[in-house]
Structure 1
Amino acid sequence: MTDTTAQTKSDAVAERFVTAFREDGFTHIPSLLTAEEVARYREAALDAIERHGKTAGMGGGGTALVQTKGAWWKHETLRNLSRHPRIGAVAEQLAGMPLRVWGGEAFAKHPHDEVPTIWHDDLTFAPLDSRMTMNAWIALVDVPVERGCLTFLPESHRRADPYRGELSAARENPDSYLFTQWPQLGWSPRVTVPLRAGDATFHQSRVGHMAGGNTSEETREAFIITYTDAEATYQPLPGQSPLEDLEPGQLPPDDRYPRVSDFG
C-alpha cells in the first residue's frame, strides 16, 4: 500500500486528542456536532431505526439493542452524516492517514434494557486488510452511565499476538472470547466515557470495549461511522458471508465507499 500520510489534515482537533487516540486507542471529542445537527440527525436515525432496525447480533445476553443495516446508504440525511467533513477530518487526523467510509449505522437501546453490550473488539469481525479501521460513536442524546455509555480497555490495541482474534471463537463464545484469547486484558484498567449529545468517541478497531445497559427512562440513540484506511482491500474472513458488491482483494470503489478527501 502507498504511504500517503502527508495528505491528511492536521488542524481539526487539538493534539492532545491525537495523543490519547494513539496511546490509549480511543479518545473523547466533545461538541463534535451542533445542537441543530444533533436534532436533524436524531430525527433521521429514529426514522431509519423504525424502517430498517433489527436486533443487533453483538448485544449478547438477550439485550434488545436495535441497529440499522445500510442506513448510511439508504437514508440521504444519514449518508450526509457519514460524509460529515469535520468528523472525517478529525478521523483522518487521529489516524494519521487518508481514510474512507466503510459504513454508518444508527443504534437504539431502549429504557430498562439493562443487559450490557458484551466486551468485544471490532477487528475480529472486519473483512478488511487495512492499516487502520476505526469507529466514531456519536451520541444523538445525552448518554450518562445509566443510559449505557461505552467503557474501554486503554492500550488494548497494543496487546500481544495473536493480532486478530478468530471469528469462529468469537461466534462460539461471544461473551468471553476477548478475555479467553488475551487473558491479560482481564487485568486492564477500564475507562467509562459518558457523553453529551453531539459528543463522540473515536476508537481503533483493536481496542476492547463494551456498553452498559440502559437503566434509565430514556432511549439511548447513537450513530456509528466506520472508517478504514483509504487503501484497504476487501478480505472476507473464513465463514463470513461475502459482500455482493466486492471481490476478495478489491479496493472498495470510491462512489460506494467514499474517501474522506472527497467530502465537501
Structure 2
Amino acid sequence: MSAVVAETSTKAPATLHDSISDALIEQIKQDGFGVLRGALSPEEVAEVNAEAVRLCRGDLGAVGIGREGDSAPVVGEDISDEDVLRRYLCIHMPHKVSQILADQLAQPRIVEVLTKVIGPNVKAMQSMLFMKSEGKPGQAWHQDEFFIPTRDRSLTATWIALDDATIENGCLWVLPGSHRRGVIYPDRDQDDPRFDCSIEAYDFPYRDEDAVPVEVPAGSAVIFNGYLLHRSLQNSGKHGFRRALANHYMSAESLLPWRKEERGHVAKWDYRDVVLVAGEDPYAYKGLEDVARPHVRPDGEGGCDR
C-alpha cells in the first residue's frame, strides 16, 4: 500500500490560467494537466449544482444503481437538498437525462482547449457528477485510460470544480509528467479506508511525495491526460461538499473499444454512444447508439465505468 500523503503539502500550488494561452496548452502537454480558472461562470456553477439536486431527487427520471440495476430509492420532499446529495458519491452519465449537463459537454471555453490539445475533431463518451459530501472517500492512484481504453492516447478529462476544491475537502492530487511514457501501470485491489473500493495503480516510478495538490476555485476546469496518475483523498468534513463534474473526451478519428458486448474483430470495436463536441465525425456513417443510462455508483464499487 502506498504511503500516506498528509493533508498538507510543501509543493508549489498548481498554476491557474485565466485565459486559453499557449502556456496552458504547453503545461497540459508537458505536465499532463493544466487549470483554466473561470471555465464556468458563477451562474453556470449554480445552475449545475441546482440540477444535481433535481437529479438526485429523481425529478429528471429514475437513476439506476449500477449500469443495469434497479432504480434508486424515491426521495421524500421532507428531506433537505443537502441530505439528498449526501446519499450519493457519484452519478454516471447524467447528461443522458439533463439538458443542462449535456450542454456542459460542449462548453465553449473547454472545447476550445480540447481542440488545441486533442485536435479539431473531438467526441465525448462519459460524464460523471461527484457530490463527495463530508467524510466521503477519495479514489486511489489510477489512470483514466485504464477504464476507458483508446487507440491513440488522446483520452482527456475535464474535471470542473463546483465548489472550491481544497486539500481539506478532497481535491485532486496529480503526479506531473506521469502521462508521458504512455504506459498503463499494474493495478491491484486495495482496502485503504481513505478511498472507495476501486483498484489502485502501483509499481510506477513516482513517489507519493512527488504528488501536487490541485486546489482550485469553483468554476475552474482541471484538464488532464488519460495516462496521468491522479487520486483524491477523503473529504475531511470541515467545509461541506466537494462537488465536481468530470467529462471525458477523445479524438473523433480514433475508434473507442469500450463497453462493447458483441465485439467481433478487434480492429472494428467502436463504442458509438458518443457526443461530437467539435469538428466532424469520420465514423458518422456508423450511426450513433443510445445504450448508456444514468446510474448511481453502487456501494463498494469505485472508479470510472469498467
TM-score tier (shorter)? 0.7 to 0.9
Q: Deviations over 1:143-175 (max 9, x none)?
A: 12211110100000123x7x2346xx4458977
The aligned counterpart of 2:13 is: none
**Residue 281 (structure 2) pairs with residue 260 (structure 1):** no
What is the number of residues matched between the two proteins?
232
Q: Distance in 1 between matches of 2:227 and 2:198?
A: 17
Displacement, 1:97?
Answer: 4.8
The aligned counterpart of 2:30 is: 23
Q: Distance in 1 between matches of 2:265 and 2:56?
A: 29
Q: Distance in 2 between matches of 1:246 and 1:140?
A: 41
The aligned counterpart of 1:60 is: none
Closer, same or farther: CA 32–144 of 1 in aligned 2, 3 Å: same
TM-score of the superposition, structure 1-length normalised? 0.76
1:221-260 alignment, distance < 5 Å:
221-236=243-258, 242=260, 249-253=268-272, 256-260=274-278
* Correspondent of 2:114 among 76, 91, 94: 91
For residue 144 of structure 1, what is the amino acid of its counterpart?
T
Displacement, 1:16?
Answer: 0.5
Contact 1:53–1:66 at 8 Å: present in 2 too?
no
The aligned counterpart of 1:72 is: 95
Superposed CA RMSD in Å reads 3.1
Q: Choose 1 or 2 for highest CA Rg.
A: 2
Displacement, 1:103?
Answer: 1.2
Q: Deviations over 1:174-214 (max 9, x none)?
A: 7774222x2x1226721111111101101101000011211
Q: Distance in 1 between matches of 2:188 and 2:260?
A: 18
Q: Distance in 1 between matches of 2:129 and 2:265?
A: 26
Q: Distance in 1 between matches of 2:261 and 2:111?
A: 24
Comparing both structures, which one devotes a greater share of its residues to helix? 1
1:1-264 alignment, distance < 5 Å:
13-51=20-58, 52=63, 66-113=89-136, 115-159=137-181, 163-165=183-185, 169-170=187-188, 177-180=200-203, 182=204, 184-186=205-207, 189-215=210-236, 216-236=238-258, 242=260, 249-253=268-272, 256-261=274-279
TM-score of the superposition, structure 2-length normalised? 0.67
Q: 3-state SS of the aligned residue for 1:233?
A: coil
Q: 3-state SS of the aligned residue for 2:276?
A: coil
Contact 2:260–2:270 at 8 Å: present in 1 too?
no
Contact 2:189–2:199 at 8 Å: present in 1 too?
no
Displacement, 1:31?
Answer: 0.8
Q: State the identity %.
A: 23
Which is worse superposed, 92-101 or 215-224?
Answer: 92-101
